[in-house]
Amino acid sequence: MRTGFKTAITAILLSTSAIWQGAEAQNDALGYFPDRASLHKELWESYAYVTSGEINPNVIDWTIQFASAYGREDLIQDVVARYVSQPCISEDPFDPEKIREAVKAHQVTIINETHHSPDDRQRILDMVPIFAEEGFTYYAAETFQDGVATDGNKTGLDAGFYSTEPFHGRLLRELARLGFEFVPFEARLTDRVDGDRRILREQVQAQNIIDRILKENPEAKILIHVGWAHAFEIPEDEHGMAWMAQRLKEKSGIDPLTISQTFCRAAGDKAVLIRSDSEGGEDKLYATDLAIGAAGWSFTDGRPTWHRRLGFQPVPVPAVLRDDDLPVIVEAMPEGADELTVPDDRLLIAPGESHVLMLPEGTYELFSFTQAGQMRGPVRIEVNSVAK
């Protein structure tokens, strides 16, 4: 991993610092959800904040990031656009096959996401077959609660925090189907720790991966899924700060393949692959080995247009599930799913709004919930693909 471009690195660290303002409180506050009601409570709290008109534009905390968990990226697009605003120079369309050789050459791959962007998670899902075919068997994720490795609920609402979002839920179900072993590594810092909590968090995350995977299986091939700067390979600065990827590299002696999805924004409507200039790339890539530049968001019927490019179909919310006076959370559950299953879509919709559910082909049971917890449903629907 090449380092350099000190000015650019300083700029991105300042940007990341703004995102992490209050990170101590944020990290400690991220809880897990034993049931649907406890999750909905947090969704309503997020909705109240993002519709309050009092958003702090300098901090993307969980209340903003969680808007995607109830299908309302449209409410936060103006706030989040500034955080990945650098335009990509590359016009090389992203295709998972283009990273296969790099994946094959590394024992560990670390890929990041912006926690508010389900499309980042969909791209990781698109890459999963490559990882499986190249012998990766462990999936370590920032989202997981500690019991995910032993409790058996590896893909449900209680598996983790960010994984309650539908596209993250799909990712976990596919990884589980392929037999990946799930490993939590988030640092659980108490109120009484000494030192800089940001530094300690990165140190503990890296050590947890070593202790929970590499000590027992030093040849393990590991996919590590993180947010934002945890994937950065930047040497320790004068304050002692280095991100998890760099800490893991130094502690384990393993040079990971690092992939950023937070480096730049593609000009068109499709993601692009960013290579380092030493490999012919035009973008001045730093901090990671590769990057994927995501396209900016656009919306149709209130939902991100890229859902339609996946073949998902728009489904209007049935009138019987709506309330004349109150917003409701609508969830589309695969037929026969239990209460802890992450739904295939979730939408918070207010009276007078025309937002639609976006669903792949299948049979679903739709439910709606008011903030007071009143449930309506199920309404059973069939979604059929449209022939191209």
| pLDDT lower than 50: segments of the chain | 2-29, 387-388
Structure tokens at 193: 């720790």
Task: State the sign of the Cα–Cα–Cα–Cα dihedral 266, 269, 271, 275.
Answer: negative
Whether 315 and 363 have beta carbons less than 8 Å apart is answered as no
The pLDDT value recorded for residue 152 is: 58
Structure tokens at 324: 């004349």
The pLDDT value recorded for residue 127 is: 98
The pLDDT value recorded for residue 43 is: 97
The pLDDT value recorded for residue 386 is: 65
User: Residue length, the chain?
Assistant: 388
Domains in the chain, start-ordered, CATH in brackets? Answer: 1-297 (3.40.50.11550), 300-383 (2.60.40)
Whether 179 and 164 have beta carbons less than 8 Å apart is answered as no
Question: Left (φ > 0), alpha (ψ -120 to 50) or beta: where does 382 sit?
Answer: beta
- Exposed / middle / buried, residue 52 (Cβ in 10 Å: 0-12, 13-18, 19+): exposed
List the beta strands (DSSP E) in 30-131: 108-113
The pLDDT value recorded for residue 133 is: 98
Peptide bond preceding 378 in cis form (omega within 30 of 0): yes
Q: Which of 229, 269, 236 is nearest to 251 (CA)?
A: 236
Structure tokens at 301: 């019927």
Give how far the C-alpha of residue 49 lies from the chain's centroid of Cα atoms, to the nearest Å.
Answer: 20
Structure tokens at 13: 């660290």
Model pLDDT for residues 297-316, shown as the tens digit of each residue = 999 999 999 999 999 999 99
Whether 29 and 62 have beta carbons less than 8 Å apart is answered as yes
Model pLDDT for residues 173-231, shown as the tens digit of each residue = 999 999 999 999 999 887 667 778 999 999 999 999 999 999 999 999 999 999 999 99
Instruction: List CB contacts of 168: < 8 A, sequence separation 6 or more.
Output: 118, 121, 143, 162, 342
- Rounded Cα distance, 265 and 295, in Å: 6
The pLDDT value recorded for residue 151 is: 64
The pLDDT value recorded for residue 194 is: 77
Q: Which amino acid is at 118?
A: P
Pairing of strands 328-334, 345-349: antiparallel
- Rounded Cα distance, 386 and 377, in Å: 26
- Rounded Cα distance, 9 and 33, in Å: 36
Q: Which of 106, 71, 127 is nearest to 261 (CA)?
A: 127
Whether 241 and 196 have beta carbons less than 8 Å apart is answered as yes
Q: Is the pTM of this model over 0.75?
A: yes
What is the four-CA torsion angle of 207, 240, 62, 152, rounded to 10 degrees? 0
Q: Which of 344, 324, 335 is nearest to 378 (CA)?
A: 335
